[in-house]
Structure formats: structure tokens, C-alpha cells
Chain A
Amino acid sequence: AQSVSQHNHHVILSEAASLELGCNYSYGGTVNLFWYVQYPGQHLQLLLKYFSGDPLVKGIKGFEAEFIKSKFSFNLRKPSVQWSDTAEYFCAVNAYSGSARQLTFGSGTQLTVLP
């Protein structure tokens, strides 16, 4: 079965700092990759997704992610974070597990941006 690893559990940055959150997955087949964000007290929202083509994917709110197939990675980046980016970020892989596709989430990274 596929798995997703997010190595940073909690990241604290000051406003305007650059952000990179790591995500590695283990799955040998074709995958679709996602980043979701969960603001305090809210539901998960899709930030960006990768299916095929250009490995550099741009999402909402200035976020982008790069798919590096050889490293099984899909890291999330933002050049300059804002206080409003404080949230929990989840990387997810949509791949076959048995006969059905499942969305498997990483354990999440809590981002705190200090004003």
C-alpha cells in the first residue's frame, strides 16, 4: 500500500520568509499528488494537484509544488509567507490500493507564521 511521509511536524517562520514543506511517498505506479490546507477550525481545502505534465505545479495563494519522480517527492513551496498562511498542510497521494483508488494523507505539517 502507498504511504506518505511529511518529515516536518511543525514549522515556525516569520512573515516574508520562504517556505518549503517536504513530502515523500512510496508507490511504484502512477500517482496523483495533492496538497491540502486546513485552516484552524475549518475543513481541508485543495491547494494544488499534480496529475501529469509539467512537474512544477502552481496552486492558489501563491503556493507551488515540484514533483520529482526520481526522489518520490512532492515538496510544497512559497517564496514569501504571510501570517494568514498559518494552518496545517497535508500532502496526499491518490493511487490504487487493491482494486480501488484511495487518497492517502501524510501526517501533516503545522505551519505557524509569526507577524
Chain B
Amino acid sequence: DSGVTQTPKHLITATGQRVTLRCSPRSGDLSVYWYQQSLDQGLQFLIQYYNGEERAKGNILERFSAQQFPDLHSELNLSSLELGDSALYFCASSVAEGTNYGYTFGSGTRLTVV
């Protein structure tokens, strides 16, 4: 157990639907990062939050959005889902933004769009 909790572990949904992925960072970590891992794209950085504020955006589609709440948990919202959105979505956390300590990753949510 890395200390980063992601729910649900698996999600199967239909095209056009909307889902919410949840991440609780490791205790004491203020930064949360979302990554998408797919076979053809590898690990792609989506978005970063630090203490409730958006800090950096990567290759995140407009159909996707995220937020970090006052209790520091984060949610990634994926809407108008397409088959190509099927992937493993990882959340990671770190003590501070721009940290030199690397990130602690959760076990991921496997999203299957059918």
C-alpha cells in the first residue's frame, strides 16, 4: 500500500457517459497529479493540483476536468467518453509542488469504455 488511494479500481461504462475517478493523496502530501496510461500513448501527464489550486496542465482533453478539494482529495471527471479513453488512470501525490522527492503513485483506476 503506497498511501495513495484511488477508487474505484475498475470501471466499465458506455460511450457518451461521464465518470468520476477519486484520489486520496498520501497523508501530508499537498500536490496531486493525474496521469493516463494507455498502450499506445504510454504514461501521459494530465494535470496537477497543489493545495486546491491547479498548477500545471499536460495533455488533458477539454472533455476532462479535475479539482482538488479542501481535504486535499482530488477527482478527475471524464465526460462524453469515447472508446479511446479506455486506459489506466493513475493518481500520484507529493509533499510539495516541484518536489525533488519523486511522486508516490496509487494503484490506478482501470477505465473500460464499451
- Hey, which bits of chain A sit against chain B, CB under 8 A? 32, 34, 36, 42-46, 49, 51, 90, 92, 94, 96-108
Contact = CB atoms under 8 A, between A and B. Distances in A.
A99 B50 CA distance: 13
Nearest to B55: A100
A94 B45 CA distance: 12
Interface residues of B, number: 25
Nearest to A103: B103
Contacts of B98: 96, 100-101
19 contacts: A34-B102, A42-B107, A43-B90, A43-B105, A43-B107, A44-B92, A45-B2, A46-B104, A49-B101, A94-B102, A96-B98, A98-B56, A100-B48, A100-B97, A101-B97, A101-B98, A102-B48, A105-B35, A107-B43
Contacts of B25: none
Nearest to A97: B56
Contacts of A98: 56
Contacts, number: 58
B45 A104 contact: yes
B58 A102 contact: yes
Contacts of A101: 97-99
A103 B42 contact: no
Interface in B13-47: 33, 35, 42-43, 45
B43 A105 contact: yes
Interface of B: 2, 4, 33, 35, 42-43, 45, 48, 55-56, 58, 90, 92, 97-108
B33 A103 contact: yes
Contacts of A92: 102
Contacts of A34: 102
B21 to A, nearest CB: 14
Contacts of B33: 103
B102 A46 contact: yes
A49 B102 contact: yes
Contacts of A100: 48, 55-56, 97-98
